Amino acid sequence: MLTIGQYVRPASLDEAYALCQKKNNVVLGGMLWLKMQRRTVGTAIDLCDLGLDRIEETETEYRIGAMVPLRALEQHAGLAALTHGAMEEAVRHIVGVQFRNCATLGGSLWGRFGFSDVLTLLLALDATVVLHHAGALPLADFAALPRETRDILTHVRIPKAPRRVAYLSQRNISTDFPVLACALSEQNGQYACAIGARPMPAVRLADDKGLLAQGVTEESARAFAEDIAARVTFGSNMRASADYRREICKVLVRRAALALGEEG
């Protein structure tokens, strides 16, 4: 059972940052994961008054506030166009509309959850995370930060550079966590492949061997998929074994590469 001693809505990020330095204080996201924990929280820090619930567009990037719900990402026309529908595909399987209206982008990333569809997609999109104290850092670097880090994730930035993107996931049953998730993007001939729900947190890999350099064909897509599956470490849990995940990885990466080929 979750017990909270005090609830505070800070008036500034500085105030929120100062509050979150104490070990048993917690910054609230959507609270969906937090409330299932047996935990005593000193002060729950709610960022809802800090204007972090907006998706802003500049000439070069989308700047997405940490309190933006996943449902807003799913419905945003600009993000849909930028990702060729991958943003919607990445989040639409997550439980239900009501859940996605509660779950926030910041909460989804801060937990660096192994099952995270959002982390998987954003790794392939070269996203940058903005922390109030530490500043901007690549998402991959953020994902490797120690969990004891006491900072506040304020925004996620996604560059608007044109790219092709595909997102695929495998689930044992609709609305469950993914057994495996795969995001593949291509920009100026450079491919980035993120594999999530391994079940460890997502990792990002490049096409180091240039297997897709001569274009996407059934053969090159298969070779690329087998290379990715061989380089990624998989684990077993109640949803699937490591061996099963490796086989699924080959299928999803091959299909994602072929989908990029069809996007032209």
Partner 1 sequence: MEIKLTLNGKPVTASVDADTLLIDFVRDHGCYSVKRGCETANCGLCTVLMDGTPVLSCSVLAARAAGHHVQTLEGLQEEAADFVGFIADQGAEQCGFCNPGFVMNTVALLRENPDPTDDEIRAYLAGNLCRCSGYEGQLRGIRAYLDSRKGAQA
Q: Which two tokens stand for residue 34?
A: 């937090």
| Residue 5, amino acid | G
Strand 180-187: give its sheet, edge to edge: 164-170, 180-187, 190-196, 203-206
Choosing from 44, 91, 143, 259, the residue that interacts with partner 1 (CB under 8 A) is 44
Does residue 191 contact residue 212 with C-beta atoms inside 8 Å?
yes
Q: With CB under 8 A as the contact rule, which of the stretches 31-39, 151-159, 185-193, 255-263 interacts with partner 1?
A: 31-39
Q: Does residue 144 interact with partner 1 by CB under 8 A?
A: no
Q: With respect to partner 1, which residue has the nearer C-beta, 174 or 214? A: 174
Q: Does residue 205 interact with partner 1 by CB under 8 A?
A: no
How far apart, in Å, are the Cα atoms of 104 and each of 5, 117, 188? 23, 13, 31
Q: Does residue 5 interact with partner 1 by CB under 8 A?
A: yes
Q: Does residue 35 interact with partner 1 by CB under 8 A?
A: yes
Q: Does residue 3 interact with partner 1 by CB under 8 A?
A: yes
Can you tell me the distance from the alpha carbon of 92 to that of 121, in angstroms, rounded to the nearest whole number? 13
Q: Which two tokens stand for residue 73?
A: 């990402």
Choosing from 11, 18, 97, 213, the residue that interacts with partner 1 (CB under 8 A) is 97
| Residue 230, amino acid | A
Q: With respect to partner 1, which residue has the nearer C-beta, 49 or 141? A: 49
| Residue 172, amino acid | N
Choosing from 38, 58, 98, 162, the residue that interacts with partner 1 (CB under 8 A) is 98
Phi, psi (degrees; rounded to nearest 5) at 36: -90, 0
- H helices present in the chain, as ranges: 13-20, 70-75, 77-82, 86-91, 97-102, 105-110, 117-124, 139-143, 218-231, 242-263
Q: Does residue 48 interact with partner 1 by CB under 8 A?
A: yes
Q: Which two tokens stand for residue 168?
A: 């695929």
CB of 7: closest distance to partner 1 in angstroms? 4
**Contact characters 163-182, partner 1, x per CB under 8 A:** -----------xx-------
Q: Does residue 28 interact with partner 1 by CB under 8 A?
A: yes
Q: Does residue 51 interact with partner 1 by CB under 8 A?
A: no
Q: Does residue 46 interact with partner 1 by CB under 8 A?
A: yes
Residues that bind partner 1 (CB under 8 A): 2-7, 28, 30-32, 35-36, 41, 44, 46, 48, 92, 95-99, 101-102, 174-175
